[in-house]
Amino acid sequence: MTTDAGDRLRTLLPQNAAERLQSLRLAEGRATLVLDATGLATSDRDAMEAAVKQALEGDAEVSEVRVAMMADKADEAAPVKSGPVQKIIAVGSGKGGVGKSTVATNLAVALARSGRKVGVVDADIYGPSQARLLGTEGQKPVAHDSRLVPVASQWGVPVLSMAHLSNPGQAIAWRGPMASGAVTQLLQGHWDDAEIIVVDLPPGTGDIQLTMLQKFKPAGAVIVSTPQDLALMDATRAVELFSKSGVPIIGVVENMAGYICPHCGEVSDPFGTGGAEAAAREMGTAFLGRIPLDIAIRRESDAGTPTAAGDGPQAEAFANLARSVADWVDSR
Protein backbone atom coordinates (compact mmCIF):
# COMPACT_ATOMS: atom_id res chain seq x y z
CA MET A 1 0.00 0.00 0.00
CA THR A 2 1.36 3.45 -0.80
CA THR A 3 1.59 5.95 2.05
CA ASP A 4 -0.74 8.15 0.01
CA ALA A 5 -3.43 5.47 -0.10
CA GLY A 6 -3.02 4.82 3.63
CA ASP A 7 -3.24 8.51 4.47
CA ARG A 8 -6.26 8.94 2.24
CA LEU A 9 -8.11 6.03 3.80
CA ARG A 10 -7.30 7.33 7.29
CA THR A 11 -8.89 10.65 6.47
CA LEU A 12 -12.07 8.84 5.43
CA LEU A 13 -12.50 7.22 8.84
CA PRO A 14 -15.01 8.56 11.35
CA GLN A 15 -13.20 10.56 14.03
CA ASN A 16 -13.92 8.08 16.87
CA ALA A 17 -12.55 5.19 14.80
CA ALA A 18 -9.47 7.12 13.63
CA GLU A 19 -8.55 7.74 17.25
CA ARG A 20 -8.60 3.99 17.92
CA LEU A 21 -6.77 2.91 14.78
CA GLN A 22 -3.88 0.51 15.51
CA SER A 23 -3.03 -0.47 11.94
CA LEU A 24 -4.40 -0.19 8.43
CA ARG A 25 -3.34 -2.28 5.45
CA LEU A 26 -4.55 -2.22 1.88
CA ALA A 27 -3.63 -5.19 -0.29
CA GLU A 28 -5.32 -6.28 -3.51
CA GLY A 29 -8.30 -4.12 -2.77
CA ARG A 30 -8.79 -5.50 0.76
CA ALA A 31 -8.50 -2.96 3.57
CA THR A 32 -7.70 -4.59 6.92
CA LEU A 33 -8.00 -2.42 10.01
CA VAL A 34 -7.21 -3.20 13.61
CA LEU A 35 -8.99 -0.97 16.11
CA ASP A 36 -8.50 -0.77 19.85
CA ALA A 37 -11.95 -1.58 21.25
CA THR A 38 -10.97 -1.16 24.89
CA GLY A 39 -13.90 -0.17 27.07
CA LEU A 40 -16.46 -0.15 24.26
CA ALA A 41 -19.80 -1.82 24.76
CA THR A 42 -20.73 -4.42 22.14
CA SER A 43 -23.32 -2.12 20.57
CA ASP A 44 -20.71 0.68 20.24
CA ARG A 45 -18.24 -1.72 18.64
CA ASP A 46 -20.84 -2.87 16.14
CA ALA A 47 -21.77 0.71 15.30
CA MET A 48 -18.11 1.67 14.86
CA GLU A 49 -17.42 -1.33 12.64
CA ALA A 50 -20.42 -0.54 10.46
CA ALA A 51 -19.41 3.12 10.17
CA VAL A 52 -15.82 2.19 9.20
CA LYS A 53 -17.05 -0.20 6.53
CA GLN A 54 -19.43 2.34 5.12
CA ALA A 55 -16.73 5.03 5.04
CA LEU A 56 -14.12 2.92 3.24
CA GLU A 57 -16.29 0.88 0.91
CA GLY A 58 -16.91 4.01 -1.16
CA ASP A 59 -13.20 4.34 -2.00
CA ALA A 60 -12.26 3.41 -5.57
CA GLU A 61 -9.27 1.29 -4.46
CA VAL A 62 -11.22 -0.68 -1.85
CA SER A 63 -13.30 -3.72 -2.74
CA GLU A 64 -13.51 -5.27 0.73
CA VAL A 65 -13.15 -4.00 4.31
CA ARG A 66 -12.19 -6.17 7.27
CA VAL A 67 -12.25 -4.78 10.77
CA ALA A 68 -10.67 -6.50 13.81
CA MET A 69 -11.58 -5.10 17.20
CA MET A 70 -9.04 -5.88 19.88
CA ALA A 71 -9.53 -4.99 23.54
CA ASP A 72 -5.80 -4.61 24.01
CA LYS A 73 -5.30 -2.72 27.26
CA ALA A 74 -6.52 -5.35 29.65
CA ASP A 75 -6.34 -3.27 32.80
CA GLU A 76 -8.58 -0.59 31.34
CA ALA A 77 -11.06 -2.93 29.76
CA ALA A 78 -14.59 -3.35 30.94
CA PRO A 79 -15.12 -6.74 32.58
CA VAL A 80 -16.23 -9.36 30.11
CA LYS A 81 -19.92 -9.82 30.04
CA SER A 82 -21.41 -12.27 27.63
CA GLY A 83 -25.17 -12.14 27.71
CA PRO A 84 -26.86 -13.66 30.71
CA VAL A 85 -23.86 -15.80 31.67
CA GLN A 86 -23.84 -16.23 35.39
CA LYS A 87 -20.65 -18.11 36.17
CA ILE A 88 -17.22 -18.44 34.66
CA ILE A 89 -15.28 -21.32 36.20
CA ALA A 90 -11.53 -21.17 35.51
CA VAL A 91 -9.50 -24.37 35.44
CA GLY A 92 -5.83 -23.67 36.11
CA SER A 93 -2.60 -25.36 37.05
CA GLY A 94 0.77 -24.25 38.34
CA LYS A 95 2.55 -25.95 35.46
CA GLY A 96 1.90 -27.62 32.12
CA GLY A 97 1.16 -31.25 31.41
CA VAL A 98 -0.77 -32.08 34.58
CA GLY A 99 -4.02 -32.71 32.72
CA LYS A 100 -5.66 -29.32 33.17
CA SER A 101 -7.26 -29.34 29.72
CA THR A 102 -8.42 -32.95 30.14
CA VAL A 103 -10.04 -32.10 33.47
CA ALA A 104 -11.65 -28.94 32.04
CA THR A 105 -13.25 -30.88 29.17
CA ASN A 106 -14.51 -33.71 31.32
CA LEU A 107 -15.77 -31.36 34.01
CA ALA A 108 -17.81 -29.53 31.36
CA VAL A 109 -19.17 -32.75 29.84
CA ALA A 110 -20.06 -34.14 33.28
CA LEU A 111 -21.81 -30.88 34.19
CA ALA A 112 -23.77 -31.05 30.92
CA ARG A 113 -24.75 -34.67 31.65
CA SER A 114 -26.11 -33.55 34.98
CA GLY A 115 -28.40 -31.11 33.21
CA ARG A 116 -26.39 -27.89 33.38
CA LYS A 117 -26.04 -25.63 30.37
CA VAL A 118 -22.30 -25.43 29.92
CA GLY A 119 -19.84 -23.99 27.42
CA VAL A 120 -16.07 -24.29 27.16
CA VAL A 121 -13.67 -21.46 26.32
CA ASP A 122 -10.11 -22.49 25.55
CA ALA A 123 -8.01 -19.67 26.96
CA ASP A 124 -4.86 -21.73 26.51
CA ILE A 125 -4.28 -19.91 23.27
CA TYR A 126 -0.63 -20.90 22.93
CA GLY A 127 -1.46 -24.61 23.10
CA PRO A 128 -5.19 -24.89 22.44
CA SER A 129 -6.47 -28.46 22.79
CA GLN A 130 -10.21 -28.15 23.43
CA ALA A 131 -11.12 -28.53 19.76
CA ARG A 132 -9.45 -31.95 19.74
CA LEU A 133 -10.69 -32.97 23.20
CA LEU A 134 -14.31 -32.23 22.30
CA GLY A 135 -14.04 -33.71 18.82
CA THR A 136 -14.63 -30.42 16.99
CA GLU A 137 -11.34 -30.13 15.12
CA GLY A 138 -11.57 -28.56 11.70
CA GLN A 139 -14.84 -26.74 12.43
CA LYS A 140 -14.92 -22.97 12.02
CA PRO A 141 -17.19 -20.76 14.12
CA VAL A 142 -19.26 -18.19 12.26
CA ALA A 143 -19.64 -14.63 13.48
CA HIS A 144 -23.02 -13.10 14.10
CA ASP A 145 -23.33 -9.39 14.97
CA SER A 146 -19.51 -9.30 15.24
CA ARG A 147 -19.56 -12.01 17.91
CA LEU A 148 -18.45 -15.60 17.48
CA VAL A 149 -21.05 -18.34 17.59
CA PRO A 150 -19.70 -21.27 19.67
CA VAL A 151 -19.04 -24.51 17.83
CA ALA A 152 -21.45 -27.29 18.84
CA SER A 153 -19.94 -30.58 19.98
CA GLN A 154 -21.76 -33.90 20.12
CA TRP A 155 -21.41 -33.91 23.92
CA GLY A 156 -23.86 -31.06 24.43
CA VAL A 157 -21.02 -28.67 25.24
CA PRO A 158 -20.42 -25.82 22.78
CA VAL A 159 -16.84 -24.59 22.59
CA LEU A 160 -14.72 -21.71 21.34
CA SER A 161 -10.97 -22.11 20.98
CA MET A 162 -8.24 -20.38 19.03
CA ALA A 163 -7.78 -23.82 17.48
CA HIS A 164 -11.04 -23.17 15.64
CA LEU A 165 -9.74 -19.88 14.29
CA SER A 166 -6.16 -20.74 13.34
CA ASN A 167 -4.84 -23.37 11.00
CA PRO A 168 -3.63 -26.62 12.57
CA GLY A 169 -0.03 -26.36 13.71
CA GLN A 170 0.04 -22.62 13.15
CA ALA A 171 2.24 -20.95 15.77
CA ILE A 172 0.55 -18.22 17.74
CA ALA A 173 2.97 -15.75 19.31
CA TRP A 174 1.01 -12.85 20.68
CA ARG A 175 2.01 -10.41 23.33
CA GLY A 176 0.26 -10.91 26.66
CA PRO A 177 -2.31 -8.13 26.22
CA MET A 178 -3.14 -9.33 22.71
CA ALA A 179 -3.55 -12.83 24.10
CA SER A 180 -6.05 -11.67 26.67
CA GLY A 181 -7.77 -9.61 23.95
CA ALA A 182 -8.20 -12.77 21.91
CA VAL A 183 -9.63 -14.62 24.89
CA THR A 184 -12.06 -11.76 25.41
CA GLN A 185 -13.39 -12.37 21.90
CA LEU A 186 -13.92 -16.03 22.75
CA LEU A 187 -15.69 -15.13 26.00
CA GLN A 188 -17.83 -12.51 24.31
CA GLY A 189 -19.22 -15.06 21.88
CA HIS A 190 -22.92 -15.91 21.81
CA TRP A 191 -22.99 -17.77 25.12
CA ASP A 192 -26.52 -16.65 25.83
CA ASP A 193 -27.74 -20.14 26.73
CA ALA A 194 -24.85 -21.15 28.96
CA GLU A 195 -25.20 -20.87 32.72
CA ILE A 196 -21.61 -21.98 33.32
CA ILE A 197 -18.57 -21.38 31.11
CA VAL A 198 -15.59 -23.58 31.91
CA VAL A 199 -12.40 -21.75 30.94
CA ASP A 200 -9.24 -23.75 30.27
CA LEU A 201 -6.47 -21.34 31.34
CA PRO A 202 -2.92 -21.39 29.99
CA PRO A 203 -0.66 -23.39 32.35
CA GLY A 204 1.44 -21.50 34.86
CA THR A 205 1.11 -18.46 37.05
CA GLY A 206 2.63 -15.60 35.08
CA ASP A 207 1.42 -12.19 33.96
CA ILE A 208 -0.73 -13.59 31.15
CA GLN A 209 -2.80 -15.62 33.58
CA LEU A 210 -3.02 -12.71 36.02
CA THR A 211 -4.20 -10.31 33.33
CA MET A 212 -6.81 -12.75 32.10
CA LEU A 213 -8.16 -13.38 35.59
CA GLN A 214 -8.39 -9.69 36.39
CA LYS A 215 -10.17 -9.08 33.13
CA PHE A 216 -12.76 -11.83 32.95
CA LYS A 217 -13.31 -12.20 36.67
CA PRO A 218 -14.21 -15.88 37.08
CA ALA A 219 -16.69 -16.79 39.79
CA GLY A 220 -14.34 -19.51 41.00
CA ALA A 221 -11.32 -21.61 40.13
CA VAL A 222 -10.50 -25.30 40.04
CA ILE A 223 -6.80 -26.14 40.41
CA VAL A 224 -5.44 -29.29 38.83
CA SER A 225 -2.33 -30.91 40.28
CA THR A 226 -0.55 -34.25 40.07
CA PRO A 227 0.53 -36.01 43.26
CA GLN A 228 4.23 -35.17 42.91
CA ASP A 229 5.77 -32.73 45.37
CA LEU A 230 6.97 -30.48 42.61
CA ALA A 231 3.54 -30.19 41.03
CA LEU A 232 2.08 -29.48 44.45
CA MET A 233 4.51 -26.60 44.95
CA ASP A 234 3.33 -25.30 41.60
CA ALA A 235 -0.26 -25.80 42.74
CA THR A 236 0.51 -23.61 45.76
CA ARG A 237 1.64 -20.88 43.38
CA ALA A 238 -1.63 -21.30 41.45
CA VAL A 239 -3.58 -20.87 44.69
CA GLU A 240 -1.63 -17.65 45.33
CA LEU A 241 -2.32 -16.40 41.81
CA PHE A 242 -6.08 -16.84 42.22
CA SER A 243 -6.08 -15.32 45.69
CA LYS A 244 -4.10 -12.33 44.40
CA SER A 245 -6.69 -11.88 41.64
CA GLY A 246 -9.57 -12.06 44.10
CA VAL A 247 -10.90 -15.30 42.53
CA PRO A 248 -12.34 -17.75 45.10
CA ILE A 249 -10.86 -21.24 44.86
CA ILE A 250 -13.42 -24.01 44.54
CA GLY A 251 -10.78 -26.63 45.27
CA VAL A 252 -7.92 -28.83 44.11
CA VAL A 253 -8.28 -31.91 41.88
CA GLU A 254 -5.58 -34.53 42.03
CA ASN A 255 -5.08 -35.87 38.51
CA MET A 256 -3.00 -38.90 37.50
CA ALA A 257 -3.46 -40.14 41.04
CA GLY A 258 -2.71 -43.86 41.18
CA TYR A 259 -1.84 -45.85 38.08
CA ILE A 260 -4.39 -48.29 36.71
CA CYS A 261 -2.67 -51.25 35.03
CA PRO A 262 -4.26 -51.63 31.58
CA HIS A 263 -3.76 -55.42 31.77
CA CYS A 264 -4.92 -56.46 35.22
CA GLY A 265 -6.67 -53.29 36.46
CA GLU A 266 -4.53 -53.22 39.60
CA VAL A 267 -4.05 -49.74 41.08
CA SER A 268 -0.56 -48.67 42.17
CA ASP A 269 0.64 -45.33 43.52
CA PRO A 270 4.05 -44.55 41.99
CA PHE A 271 3.98 -41.00 43.36
CA GLY A 272 2.51 -41.76 46.76
CA THR A 273 -1.04 -41.01 47.80
CA GLY A 274 -2.92 -38.32 49.65
CA GLY A 275 -0.40 -35.56 48.88
CA ALA A 276 -2.80 -33.22 47.11
CA GLU A 277 -5.49 -33.73 49.73
CA ALA A 278 -3.04 -32.85 52.51
CA ALA A 279 -1.72 -29.88 50.55
CA ALA A 280 -5.26 -28.63 49.87
CA ARG A 281 -6.01 -28.86 53.58
CA GLU A 282 -2.82 -26.95 54.40
CA MET A 283 -3.73 -24.25 51.91
CA GLY A 284 -7.22 -24.02 53.38
CA THR A 285 -8.93 -25.08 50.15
CA ALA A 286 -11.30 -27.95 49.44
CA PHE A 287 -10.15 -31.24 47.95
CA LEU A 288 -12.35 -32.12 44.98
CA GLY A 289 -11.20 -35.69 44.43
CA ARG A 290 -8.86 -37.93 42.48
CA ILE A 291 -8.73 -38.89 38.83
CA PRO A 292 -6.48 -41.91 38.27
CA LEU A 293 -3.77 -42.20 35.62
CA ASP A 294 -5.61 -44.40 33.16
CA ILE A 295 -4.48 -45.02 29.61
CA ALA A 296 -8.15 -45.05 28.56
CA ILE A 297 -8.44 -41.37 29.54
CA ARG A 298 -5.55 -40.46 27.24
CA ARG A 299 -6.89 -42.60 24.41
CA GLU A 300 -10.41 -41.20 24.70
CA SER A 301 -9.07 -37.64 24.94
CA ASP A 302 -7.04 -38.08 21.76
CA ALA A 303 -10.09 -39.49 19.99
CA GLY A 304 -12.30 -36.54 21.00
CA THR A 305 -14.66 -38.79 22.96
CA PRO A 306 -14.42 -37.44 26.52
CA THR A 307 -14.25 -40.06 29.26
CA ALA A 308 -16.99 -38.26 31.19
CA ALA A 309 -19.43 -39.04 28.38
CA GLY A 310 -18.96 -42.79 28.97
CA ASP A 311 -20.05 -45.13 31.75
CA GLY A 312 -16.83 -46.41 33.33
CA PRO A 313 -15.46 -45.70 36.82
CA GLN A 314 -13.50 -42.68 35.53
CA ALA A 315 -16.72 -41.17 34.16
CA GLU A 316 -18.03 -41.51 37.72
CA ALA A 317 -14.94 -39.73 39.07
CA PHE A 318 -15.62 -36.80 36.73
CA ALA A 319 -19.33 -36.88 37.66
CA ASN A 320 -18.35 -36.54 41.33
CA LEU A 321 -16.10 -33.61 40.48
CA ALA A 322 -18.95 -31.97 38.54
CA ARG A 323 -21.30 -32.46 41.52
CA SER A 324 -18.88 -30.68 43.85
CA VAL A 325 -18.43 -27.80 41.41
CA ALA A 326 -22.20 -27.52 40.78
CA ASP A 327 -22.87 -27.50 44.53
CA TRP A 328 -20.29 -24.75 44.96
CA VAL A 329 -21.86 -22.71 42.13
CA ASP A 330 -25.35 -23.16 43.59
CA SER A 331 -24.16 -22.07 47.03
CA ARG A 332 -23.03 -18.69 45.71
Ligand X SMILES: Nc1ncnc2c1ncn2[C@@H]1O[C@H](COP(=O)(O)OP(=O)(O)OP(=O)(O)O)[C@@H](O)[C@H]1O
Residues that bind ligand X (CB under 6 A): 93, 96-102, 124, 127, 129, 203, 255-256, 291, 293-294, 297-298, 301
Residue whose CB is less far from ligand X, 68 or 172: 172
Q: Is the dihedral of CA 307, 311, 312, 315 positive or negative?
A: positive
Residue whose CB is less far from ligand X, 61 or 302: 302
Considering the complex, what minimum distance in angstroms separates the CB of residue 177 from ligand X? 21
* Kind of pairing between the strands at 220-225 and 196-200: unpaired
Considering the complex, what minimum distance in angstroms separates the CB of residue 143 from ligand X? 27
Known binding residue 97? Answer is yes
Known binding residue 95? Answer is yes
Known binding residue 99? Answer is yes
Residue whose CB is less far from ligand X, 52 or 104: 104
Question: Cα 218 to chain center, whole Å?
Answer: 11
Known binding residue 101? Answer is yes
Residue whose CB is less far from ligand X, 245 or 255: 255
Known binding residue 217? Answer is no
Phi then psi dihedrals of residue 77, to 5 deg: -70, 150
Known binding residue 94? Answer is yes
- Among 325, 83, 114, 69, smallest CA distance to 220 is for 325
Q: In the complex, which residue's CB is closest to ligand X?
A: 96
Considering the complex, what minimum distance in angstroms separates the CB of residue 331 from ligand X? 27
Considering the complex, what minimum distance in angstroms separates the CB of residue 245 from ligand X? 19
Residue whose CB is less far from ligand X, 163 or 187: 163
Considering the complex, what minimum distance in angstroms separates the CB of residue 101 from ligand X? 3
Q: Please report, in range form, the residues annotated as the binding site for ATP.
A: 94-101
Q: Please report, in range form, the residues annotated as the binding site.
A: 94-101
